Structure 1
C-alpha cells in the first residue's frame, strides 16, 4: 500500500494549499510550485467521508494543508517554537506522518464560512473552546467539528482547523515526497 496518495479536488472538496502561497503565517510560500495534497490512505478515506458529509449539509470542505515535509515543519518550528501550535520538528508532526489535515468549511456558493480567525492564526482566539465568539462563528466551528469527528478524525484544542487520525502517533514519520517539495531558504 502506498505511504501517500494524492487527494484531488472533488465535488465538495476544494484544495488550496496555504503553504504553496504567501497566505500563511510565514508570509511567503513554503512549498515549491506544483505541491499536491497528499495523505496516507486511512486519512484520505476519512477526509473523503467528511467531504461527503459536508456536501449532504449543502457545504464543502476547503483543505489548507495535509502531508507536510519535515523541512517545512522545521521552518514553522524556527518561526514559532510554541508546542501549543507547532510540533517540534525534531519530534515530528502528525502532518509529517501523513495523517493530519487542516480544513475549513465552504458555503453552498463556495465561499469560506466565518470561523472567527484565519487559518494559521496562532492565538487563543483559534481555540475550540472559545465562548466569546459570535454565535455564527461558534456554530460554524461546531459544524466543522461534528463533520470531522463523524468522519473518523479527532481535533486538537488549540486549532479549529486541525484534524488528525486518533492513532496518529502510531504512524511513522514519512520521508520527503515528490508530492510536496519545500522552497529553499
Structure 2
C-alpha cells in the first residue's frame, strides 16, 4: 500500500512539475480583445472528434507579445484577431497526420512536425470589433486551392481582406505559408525550437 501511495504521489508531482515547467503562456495574460473559434475543442473539424479539452491560445512569450501588438494594430483599424488554433500538442499532430498525411497541409509529426507544436504559430483571421466575420475566400482548414495565398480567382473584397490580414501580421514579425491564408509563423522563432507535447491546463 505504501508503494502504491508513493507511486500516486510521484505521478501527481510529475504532472504538476511538467505544467509548471511549461514555456508557454496564455495570450489572455497580455490583455486585449480577442475572439475564438477553436474547432479542435469541438467535433466540428476534419478529425470529426474533439481533441482539445478547452479553448485556450498558448504561445511562447515572445510570440504572445507579438500577437498582442498585432491585435492592437487591428483594433486601431476596427478589427480584432479571431483564433482558430495556437499551440498544438504533438499527440494531436499525430492524430491529424493519421487522417490527412499530406505535408502541404499537415506537418509530419515524425519528422520536423509543425511550428504549432513549438508554440510559435497561429491559425487566425480577423473580425470586426462587433464580431462580424470578414470574407477570406475559404473556410478554415479548407484543403484546396481556394485557401492558397496565390489563388488568383478571388473577389476584390477577399483580396483586400487578406492583404489587410497579412500586412499587419508581417509588420509584427509573422509570415504566411503558401497553402493556408490563416496560418502564421513567428519568423524569429522558427528554428531550433523544441517540439512540445504538453496538455492544456483547463483550470486556468
Shared fold (TM-score greater than 0.5)? yes
When you count helix as a share of all residues, which structure comes out higher?
2
CA distance in 1, matches of 2:133, 2:62: 26
Contact 1:64 1:103 survives alignment (8 Å): yes
Segments of structure 1 that go 5 or more residues without pairing to the other structure are 181-185
Q: CA deviation at 1:126?
A: 0.2
Matches within 5 A, 1:10-159: 10-32=31-53, 34-91=54-111, 92-159=113-180
CA distance in 2, matches of 1:177, 1:43: 19
Aligned to 1:171: 193
Larger radius of gyration: 2
For CA contacts below 8 A with separation 6 or more, give which structure has more relative contact order.
Answer: 1
CA distance in 1, matches of 2:25, 2:32: 18
Q: CA RMSD in A?
A: 1.8
Contact 1:2 1:40 survives alignment (8 Å): no
Contact 1:21 1:29 survives alignment (8 Å): yes
Tell me which stretches of 4 or more aligned residues in structure 1 moved more than 6 Å.
none
Contact 2:22 2:198 survives alignment (8 Å): no
- What is the TM-score of this pair, normalised by structure 1? 0.90
Matches within 5 A, 1:1-12: 3-8=23-28, 10-12=31-33
CA distance in 2, matches of 1:132, 1:111: 24
For structure 1, which segment, 15-24 or 5-14, has the greater mean C-alpha deviation from structure 2 after superposition? 5-14
Q: CA deviation at 1:68?
A: 0.2
Q: CA deviation at 1:16?
A: 2.8
Q: CA deviation at 1:44?
A: 0.5
Contact 1:8 1:15 survives alignment (8 Å): no
Segments of structure 2 that go 5 or more residues without pairing to the other structure are 1-20
Q: CA deviation at 1:179?
A: 3.2
- What is the TM-score of this pair, normalised by structure 2? 0.82
